[in-house]
Amino acid sequence: MRRTIDWRRWRRRLIAGTMVVTLVVLAGVAVFTYLAYQRAAVALVVERDHQVAYLSAARLRDELLKFTSELTSLARNPGIYRDTIADQLTALNKASPRLVVFDAGVVFLDRFGRVRATAPERSEILLSDWSDRPFFRELLASSEVAFSDASTDGPGGRSVVAISVPVHDESGGFVGVLVGMFGLGESRSSSFYASIIRLRLGQSGNTYVVDGKHRILYDSGYARIGEVLDLTKLPGSSLQGGAGRTRDEAGNDIVAAHAPVPGTPWTLVTEDNWATVTNSTQQYARILLVVLVLGIVLPALGIGLLLREHNAAMLERERTEQEARVTNLIQQKLLPKQIPVLSGWSLAISYQPAQTGRGNFHDFLVLPDGRLMITIGDVTERGLAAAHLVAMTRATCRGAARRQLPPWEALEYTNVLLCPELAEGQYVSCAYCILNPSSGELMIANAGFCAPVVNTDGTGPQLRPPGVALGVSMETCYSQDDVPIRPGEYIVLFSEGVINARNARGEALGSLRLAKAIARQADDAQQVVDSVMAALKDFTGRDKAQADLTLIVLGRSANDGPKDGRR
């Protein structure tokens, strides 16, 4: 009897010990899983803020370049590059209504850096030597726009930042520099600050724009403008930017991100309240903690492992959904807000992004001389990487258009800038067009994109085969076609998703079916788009696209110009 009692007591102790060990193991697994989730969530939030800061800096560069259009237009005025002060003053005064965006005035420097004319008038600085100003010296070696650090060159020693553009005469000789100035810290409604506010950055914290000497040019709270911000305390490098969790000067828990503004010595810094940006993540964390605590009481290691796998899947879904939301938001901001309206022309677009992520992009830009830039392309990546590639390509193509480069040179310019930024296997296919609406001339250069369809009645010109995609090699050269679009004719640009759309038998739509779908029935571009999309739906039997679909139709009205037959 005694031996039986001792055996039962030993068995109870064995079971109790096994349960204790099991509970300890489950508790360890629960703690490890919760901490791993927290680390992954932190890394996800930090990486998201870094990507948003990087893309926001590129958007800020685009906003700043809008101010250069008036300066560039004024730089082409003969009154500016003629070597008489009277002509230069007259040209500045006539342009004054358009230069009001520069609330600290506009200054013209001659080729030697001397102040020749100002608007409004500043007699105290006329003929002063400003050749030591960085915004003047920088343009001596480059034809690009120059952005300055904060200085006291404004009226009465006012603190300003400057945007400057070079001035050339008819023969291309360097004549001088036009400098537009924005006052700092005095007016919250200045056009400079308004361009930053429009980006809607740092909704739960502070946003700063800092110059190359770490002085604050813009502060969302308007309390620290002119102070020095120590960027060395921020995570990452000054050249590449970075993001990390830290504390601000008031001791608040934040996530800080910074990125260089392309083409300027400035840096964009955003600070978001940690509790705000991680609110949804913490809700998942609390749910996870409850599940893990409940799992501790279950004496089965298998259940704990299943919970851990469930947690990992939930975290992956959240990361994927959050990345998709950020990507869609960014790429929606990069697409054109409206279609340009050209007299005598019709322009129509159909864009259907795939559910798995966006890779197609397109853009329009009306140039100062009235011509229209059209770009359409596709990137190899998806998600945030695709948004990054689209933002870089869009910015460089727009920069080439503002420099009034022909399409072949614009693609070479874009390719040289993109190659160092792309990883192995990444590339961008792109067609770049410049349309002269008055003459109907369309210049096309193609970097690996689908060949456009011109005049589908069989009389259209044969275009050159597409060149190598952007980002493959810095040595790539491109050619262009000059295509006349006559009254009643049109050109169709489309992505691979259009001709590669497949039906239930696995057959692709192909170029022949596409040609039948866009066979000319009228010179209205929207009718052509509707015809193609209807043909796609009938062929595939689906309403939703499996791949990105982009279709752009540009048609010239049959009533635009003389109808004298084809030359």
Residue 182 backbone phi and psi in degrees, to 5 = -115, 130
Of residues 453 and 445, more confidence is placed in: 445
Quick check: 463 and 407 in contact, CB under 8 A? no
Decide if pLDDT at 450 tops 70: yes
| Residue 193, token pair as written in the block | 């600050």
pLDDT at position 411 is: 94
pTM above 0.85, yes or no: no
Section 326-346 average pLDDT: 76
Share of the chain above pLDDT 90, in %: 19
CATH domain 68-101+104-183 topology? Beta-Lactamase (3.30.450)
Of residues 465 and 36, more confidence is placed in: 465
| Residue 480, token pair as written in the block | 């262009």
For 120-171, how does the pLDDT look when each residue is reduced to its tens digit (9 = 90+)? 888 899 889 999 998 888 888 777 888 999 999 999 889 999 999 998 888 8
Decide if pLDDT at 212 tops 90: no
408 confidence band (pLDDT: 50, 70, 90): very high
Nearest to 327 by CA among 381, 259, 283, 280: 381
Section 264-274 average pLDDT: 84
What does the alpha-carbon distance between residue 427 and residue 415 come to, in Å, rounded to a whole number? Answer: 10
pLDDT at position 366 is: 92
Q: List 214's β-bridge partners, or say none.
A: none
82 confidence band (pLDDT: 50, 70, 90): confident
327 confidence band (pLDDT: 50, 70, 90): low
What does the alpha-carbon distance between residue 443 and residue 227 come to, in Å, rounded to a whole number? Answer: 49
Section 42-64 average pLDDT: 80
What does the alpha-carbon distance between residue 158 and residue 164 come to, in Å, rounded to a whole number? Answer: 18
505 confidence band (pLDDT: 50, 70, 90): confident
Amino acid at the residue 518: I
Least confident of 149-158, 342-351, 524-533: 524-533
Section 472-478 average pLDDT: 92
pLDDT at position 11 is: 59
| Residue 192, token pair as written in the block | 């400079």
Nearest to 176 by CA among 94, 65, 77: 77
Nearest to 464 by CA among 480, 441, 449: 480
Section 204-233 average pLDDT: 85
What does the alpha-carbon distance between residue 242 and residue 256 come to, in Å, rounded to a whole number? Answer: 8
433 confidence band (pLDDT: 50, 70, 90): very high
Of residues 141 and 102, more confidence is placed in: 102
pLDDT at position 2 is: 44
Q: Where are the domains of the chain?
A: 26-66+278-331, 68-101+104-183, 339-556
372 confidence band (pLDDT: 50, 70, 90): very high
Decide if pLDDT at 110 tops 70: yes
Contacts of residue 305, defined as CB under 8 A and 6 or more positions apart, other chains included, come to 29
Question: Do 68-101+104-183 and 339-556 agree at the fold level?
Answer: no
Section 44-48 average pLDDT: 75
3-state DSSP of 195-255: HHHCCCCCCCCCEEEECCCCEEEEECCCCCCCCECCHHHCCCECCCEEEEEEECCCCCEEE
Section 389-396 average pLDDT: 87
524 confidence band (pLDDT: 50, 70, 90): confident
Q: Which residue has the tokens 């060149």?
A: 467
Contacts of residue 507, defined as CB under 8 A and 6 or more positions apart, other chains included, come to none
CA distances from 305 to 49, 292, 311, 459 (A): 32, 11, 10, 68
Contacts of residue 156, defined as CB under 8 A and 6 or more positions apart, other chains included, come to none
Q: List 108's β-bridge partners, or say none.
A: 117, 178
pLDDT at position 3 is: 47
Nearest to 494 by CA among 467, 529, 470, 460: 529
Of residues 507 and 400, more confidence is placed in: 400
Section 445-456 average pLDDT: 85
Amino acid at the residue 20: V
Of residues 25 and 244, more confidence is placed in: 244
| Residue 519, token pair as written in the block | 């066979």
For 357-370, how does the pLDDT look when each residue is reduced to its tens digit (9 = 90+)? 557 889 999 999 99
pLDDT at position 564 is: 42
Amino acid at the residue 284: Y
Q: Which CATH number fits domain 339-556: 3.30.420.40, 3.90.79.10, 3.60.40.10, 3.60.15.10?
A: 3.60.40.10
Quick check: 447 and 469 in contact, CB under 8 A? yes
Share of the chain above pLDDT 70, in %: 75
pLDDT at position 446 is: 94
Q: List 366's β-bridge partners, or say none.
A: 372
Section 280-297 average pLDDT: 59
pLDDT at position 566 is: 35
- The DSSP line for 117-146 is EEES--GGGTT-B-TT-HHHHHHHS-SS-E
Section 271-293 average pLDDT: 65
Dihedral, CA of residue 129, residue 131, residue 136 and residue 142, to nearest 10:
150
| Residue 151, token pair as written in the block | 């200085």
Quick check: 354 and 548 in contact, CB under 8 A? yes
For 224-249, how does the pLDDT look when each residue is reduced to its tens digit (9 = 90+)? 888 888 887 777 666 667 887 777 77
What's the whole-number average pLDDT of the chain? Answer: 79
Q: What is the CA radius of gyration of the chain?
A: 30
Quick check: 109 and 80 in contact, CB under 8 A? no
Of residues 151 and 510, more confidence is placed in: 151
What does the alpha-carbon distance between residue 525 and residue 250 come to, in Å, rounded to a whole number? Answer: 58
DSSP code for 103: T
Quick check: 556 and 490 in contact, CB under 8 A? yes
Of residues 114 and 321, more confidence is placed in: 114
pLDDT at position 563 is: 43
